[in-house]
Structure 1
Amino acid sequence: MQFKKLAFLLLFLGFSSTAMAQMEIGIQFSPTISGNRFIAEDRHNFEKSNSALRLGVGVVGDYFFSNNYAFSSGLMYRSKGSKISYTYMVESGDGVVTPAKETDELTVQYLEIPLTLKLFTNEVAPDIVLYFQVGGALGTKVSGQVDQKKVINGEKTAKRFNVFETSAVLGTGAEMQLGQSTKLFGGVTYLRGLSNIDNYYKKQLNDKNLAIKNNGVSIDVGIKF
């Protein structure tokens, strides 16, 4: 019985060391040009006023199941959103209804788990390989602001946004080997929001078909160990 336990322990340790040898963990910094896109009726005249520079930072991990293929995940903190403008109707005291234009700056912070597949080339130069990344990401809201305010009219602005977000991820980049186990990497990632982030405007404008989604392009730089 003791021999079986010892054999099982050695087998477990051997499997763990093999798994760890196939895993590369690193730190990633991702400044992002963030924007929004809209699904709304034309009468609201929703449009993106301008893009915004947002922050992304976190821990990433690549699990290699062959020399050129890896499952990539991690935990990222990402800030998203931009300035948007829209039209709403205002009724005056004499019953006349006129359109008015409003501009809001949306800022929503998420904790995000990427779930992607990475495909690596062979060396294109000494110690340098290219990679291509495709998959998705699951995010949960940490906080939110409108016009850099956490409270408007006695209500927390974070409540205006849905708790969860899903995104499609598409990226490419390069890695450089430094020493035996250290790698520098850099690339570009396109983040396309798939789910509606809005929990406010469709109620405010009485339009259940309205949806606001995040978009972004990030410049990724980091180091893996």
Structure 2
Amino acid sequence: MKKALLALVFSAATIGAVSAQVEIGLKVSPSVTHLRTDSPSAYGFENQQSKVGIGGGIIVDYFFGQNYAFGTGLELTGKGGTISYFDPARNARIEQKIGLQYLQVPLTVKLFTNDIATDTKLYFQLGGTLNAAIAGRINGEKRYVDPTTTQETKAAKHVIIPDAGLRGAFGVEYQLGQSTKVLLGLSYNRGLFNIDNYFEDERGFKDVELKNSEFALDLGLKF
């Protein structure tokens, strides 16, 4: 009986070791980002223009089934965009070109189809990201002088450091060799936090919201 139980435990462990597989790779992600705005009509915050950037990082897919994986990694990405708002103190509309850099960790589930062609699978990804702002520029500069107050502040201090987002993505993976795969995909990242740390605190504008959005083309290689 004990031998049979030990054999069963060993078999389960062996099956788990075989089915649990980790794939690691690198990706580059050209992106188009913008800032979603909301404010009272007195301030009239608007998204004026998107920002083109590029990011990339490490891909880690931990498979817990043949076609199911926990997708994570570490990414460096650029976000931001151009916004405008009405400044009652100047009776004028002001534009700001905001550029931000984030480190982010995806926490997602990836679902893979069976082969749709030789060595080719589709994948679908859904989950979230944990993000931290590490740098910022306004109008291309690390410091910003407010045209109304003439006060100078660090551009990176205009946004809060933490952010979180929802991620949805799909794409295709092609197996080149025994453990080498290339991937091509599209992803959308929707920020959940109001990242503004300037207009309400420094200018007294109430109920202003700025949130990140990103569309990216994912080009990757897994080893």
What code does the residue aligned with 1:202 have? E
Q: Residue 154 of structure 2: which of 153, 156, 160 is its match?
A: 156
**Would you say the 8 A contact 1:88–1:205 is kept in 2?**
no
Q: Please say which of residues 199-208 and 119-128 is displaced more in the overlay.
A: 199-208
**Would you say the 8 A contact 1:202–1:211 is kept in 2?**
no
**TM-score (structure 2 length as normaliser):** 0.87
Deviations 1:93-143 (A, max 9, x none): xxxxx6210000001101100100000001111110000000000011111
Structural RMSD (CA): 1.9
What code does the residue aligned with 2:160 have? N
Q: How many aligned residue pairs are there?
A: 205
The residue number in structure 2 matching 1:66 is: 65
**Percent of pairs with identical residues:** 39
Q: How many Å apart are 1:156 and its aligned residue?
A: 1.4
Q: How many Å apart are 1:19 and its aligned residue?
A: 7.8
The residue number in structure 2 matching 1:29 is: 28
- Which residues in structure 2 correspond to 1:40-55 (within 5 Å)? 40-55=39-54
Q: Please say which of residues 204-213 and 104-113 is displaced more in the overlay.
A: 204-213
3-state DSSP of counterpart to 1:197: coil
3-state DSSP of counterpart to 2:193: coil
- Which residues in structure 2 correspond to 1:77-156 (within 5 Å)? 77-90=76-89, 99-153=91-145, 154-156=152-154
3-state DSSP of counterpart to 1:180: coil
Deviations 1:151-183 (A, max 9, x none): 124421111110111010000000000110000
Any unmatched runs of 5+ in structure 1?
1-10, 91-97
Q: How many Å apart are 1:20 and its aligned residue?
A: 10
Q: How many Å apart are 1:49 and its aligned residue?
A: 1.1
**Would you say the 8 A contact 2:128–2:165 is kept in 1?**
yes
Any unmatched runs of 5+ in structure 2?
1-9, 146-151
**Would you say the 8 A contact 1:111–1:142 is kept in 2?**
yes
Q: How many Å apart are 1:87 and its aligned residue?
A: 0.5
Q: Please say which of residues 37-46 and 70-79 is displaced more in the overlay.
A: 37-46
**TM-score (structure 1 length as normaliser):** 0.86
